[in-house]
Amino acid sequence: MEDKDLMENELLVIKGVCDLYLHGTIESTTAEVHTAFKEALNETLDIQNKIYNLMSEKGWYKTETAEQTKIDAAKQKYANAN
């Protein structure tokens, strides 16, 4: 398995862990549990960001720039929803 594949797999796992910690934070019944999940979530988000940045630097995570007309249309759509 190549480095790119390993990094993609790790990023997927970390995103899943973030999801679990987010739900743990939201659903926690005590302040102590809430704090523990929140701290774990923040640490995991930092790891996710580091993986993303490394992949982006290597050209392994491509993003597209949104067209301004699409951004404006989304703004208008959600502004009218309120």
Number of domains in the chain: 1
Alpha carbons 49 and 65: distance in angstroms, whole number: 19
Q: Which 8-state DSSP code applies to residue 58?
A: T
State both tokens at 5: 């594949």
Q: Which domain holds residue 23?
A: 3-81
Q: For 49-68, write each residue's pLDDT tens digit.
A: 999 999 999 999 888 888 99
pTM (2 decimals)?
0.76
- pLDDT tens per residue, range 12-29: 999 999 999 999 999 999
